[in-house]
Chain A
């Protein structure tokens, strides 16, 4: 397995107790709001220390490593672009150790690939939702991470942009050959992107597998979460 996580974390009344593993590929972690998905990602990124457990990436135990030593790319919800830096500097932020010419080349190359080369001089405030997401992706990818973590990457864009971006995410994973762990509450994203889907409820990974298998799950919580009623709620949410 490429990534193995066993983590316990207590945050106020919330308790995360997750056992998770994934192969190289595109894995979607699906769960309702408040299930603990973001906390789980932050544990993998090294932002939150688990109370107990371990994180193993590519066979190496990275549990005690700080975020800057993990080589894990992280795109948080709403992208967290540095507002005081233009797009070029945002993307290049993680490349300060790279020699200037090489840095310049890599920033421009990735900007080209993600279709944001014309935005390099702009500040994040002057970008659309979709453009912001591309910049955040470029910033995370340019450091050539071993793993890419995406926290609700499509929640802040309109439906049409969403379609375009989903295609791009799939392209990114193939082209950069980077394993992706994508967190969402949206079944549609799981259906269209995931090689594998894991379902997280109340701080626990309940089940994992192909989405179509999950639909036949005997686990009541999972089948309830994936139920038609829930699907309709999602649809109405989108229509809103």
Chain B
């Protein structure tokens, strides 16, 4: 009986894993049969420029999420106050809004006639800042929730003891809370960066140009067909995987040195 159960578990689980891996692996593998096209794309400076723009915009968006999202995560993990549920709901809001809708909403605010866009010296529409806000909008819930989980996992008595040892709340935050949740914060930052790179819907509405990788792939697919889009897609898959794995290993190392109990 137990054997049957295990077999069913394994079978159903492998369906999901195959479902994820098959398209990705196929896209990459097919490049070997069409290596010339792949080389052409890989040696195209435009492609690399676009990829760099994507990574760079996602990096800025992640940094903003870390700077502004960490205090929010700490508040949500440590304090209870009236309306906390509402605040948590607001943080999660971008997850449930369709991304094109998010793009429209951002365009309304950051567009040249928008509340912010009208007065801002920075141009958002069809500019890098537009890409950054779109990426930030969709990825910030991931970061805040991860960091919140990190802070919540710290025993509050550690913070209490630190206070009795003469540390102000801000010093306790820097010397105890932050180092103890650093793994969650790093993991959250990686996930939020990855989410930013993969965003298309919100970005394309507010900033079709400068092009990011998902936009370029979409454009090549529409104008030149699947075979033109595929090499770029494959490059992006390989690169993203490499960066993702490298960062995971980095955080994982942290994991080993910090694991205590």
Whether A212 sits at the interface, judged by CB under 8 Å, is no
Q: What chain A residues lie within 8 Å of B167 (beta carbons)? A: 68, 93-94, 96
Smallest Cβ-Cβ distance to A77: which chain B residue: B157
Dominant SS among interface residues on chain B: helix
Query: What 1/0 mask marks residues of chain B from 130 to 164 whose CB sits below 8 Å from any chain A CB?
Result: 00000000000000000000000001011011111
Do A47 and B164 form a contact, CB below 8 Å, given A83-B261, A84-B179, A84-B258?
Answer: yes
Whether B168 sits at the interface, judged by CB under 8 Å, is yes
Do A67 and B260 form a contact, CB below 8 Å, given A76-B157, A84-B179?
Answer: no
- Asked whether B157 lies within 8 Å of A46 as measured between CB atoms, the reply is no
B68 to chain A, nearest CB (A): 25
Whether B28 sits at the interface, judged by CB under 8 Å, is no
Whether A225 sits at the interface, judged by CB under 8 Å, is no
Q: What chain A residues lie within 8 Å of B179 (beta carbons)? A: 84
Do A42 and B162 form a contact, CB below 8 Å, given A83-B260, A84-B179, A125-B260?
Answer: no
Query: What 1/0 mask marks residues of chain A from 61 to 101 whose CB sits below 8 Å from any chain B CB?
Result: 00000111010111011101011100000000110110000
Question: CA A98 – CA B158 in complex, angstroms?
Answer: 22
Smallest Cβ-Cβ distance to B260: which chain A residue: A125
Query: What 1/0 mask marks residues of chain B from 105 to 140 whose CB sits below 8 Å from any chain A CB?
Result: 000000000000000000000000000000000000
- Asked whether A45 lies within 8 Å of B164 as measured between CB atoms, the reply is yes
Whether A143 sits at the interface, judged by CB under 8 Å, is yes
- Asked whether B165 lies within 8 Å of A94 as measured between CB atoms, the reply is yes
Q: What chain A residues lie within 8 Å of B158 (beta carbons)? A: 80, 82-83
- Asked whether A67 lies within 8 Å of B160 as measured between CB atoms, the reply is yes
Question: CA A9 – CA B75 in complex, angstroms?
Answer: 24
- Asked whether B261 lies within 8 Å of A74 as measured between CB atoms, the reply is no
Do A93 and B162 form a contact, CB below 8 Å, given A84-B179, A84-B180, A125-B261?
Answer: yes
Whether A37 sits at the interface, judged by CB under 8 Å, is no
Question: CA A97 – CA B166 in complex, angstroms?
Answer: 9
A85 to chain B, nearest CB (A): 9
Please pick, from B161, B168, B176, B261, the residue contacting A76 in the complex, using a CB distance under 8 A: B161
Smallest Cβ-Cβ distance to B168: which chain A residue: A68
Question: CA A76 – CA B155 in complex, angstroms?
Answer: 11
Q: What chain B residues lie within 8 Å of A83 (beta carbons)? A: 158, 180, 258, 260-261
Do A47 and B160 form a contact, CB below 8 Å, given A68-B168, A80-B155, A84-B179?
Answer: yes
Q: What chain A residues lie within 8 Å of B261 (beta carbons)? A: 83, 125
Please pick, from B163, B168, B260, the residue contacting A124 in the complex, using a CB distance under 8 A: B260
- Asked whether B260 lies within 8 Å of A74 as measured between CB atoms, the reply is no
Question: CA A33 – CA B255 in complex, angstroms?
Answer: 36
Question: CA A70 – CA B161 in complex, angstroms?
Answer: 12
B247 to chain A, nearest CB (A): 21
Question: CA A23 – CA B162 in complex, angstroms?
Answer: 26
Query: What 1/0 mask marks residues of chain A from 161 to 193 whose CB sits below 8 Å from any chain B CB?
Result: 000000000000000000000000000000000
Whether A103 sits at the interface, judged by CB under 8 Å, is no
- Asked whether A68 lies within 8 Å of B155 as measured between CB atoms, the reply is no
Smallest Cβ-Cβ distance to A93: which chain B residue: B165
Q: What chain A residues lie within 8 Å of B161 (beta carbons)? A: 74, 76, 80, 139
- Asked whether B176 lies within 8 Å of A74 as measured between CB atoms, the reply is no
Query: What 1/0 mask marks residues of chain B from 229 to 261 whose CB sits below 8 Å from any chain A CB?
Result: 000000000000000000000000000001111
Smallest Cβ-Cβ distance to A76: which chain B residue: B157
Name B's A-contacting residues (CB within 8 A): 155, 157-158, 160-168, 175-176, 179-180, 258-261
**Besides the known contacts A46-B164, A76-B160, 16 further A-B residue pairs in the complex with CB atoms under 8 A apart:** A47-B160, A47-B163, A66-B163, A68-B167, A68-B168, A76-B161, A82-B176, A82-B180, A83-B158, A83-B180, A83-B258, A83-B260, A84-B179, A84-B260, A96-B167, A124-B260
Name A's B-contacting residues (CB within 8 A): 42, 45-47, 66-68, 70, 72-74, 76-78, 80, 82-84, 93-94, 96-97, 123-125, 139-140, 143
28 pairs, CB–CB < 8 Å, chain A vs chain B: A46-B163, A47-B163, A67-B163, A68-B165, A68-B167, A70-B164, A73-B164, A76-B160, A77-B157, A80-B155, A80-B158, A80-B161, A82-B162, A82-B180, A83-B158, A83-B180, A83-B258, A84-B258, A93-B162, A93-B167, A93-B175, A94-B165, A94-B166, A94-B167, A96-B167, A139-B161, A139-B165, A143-B165
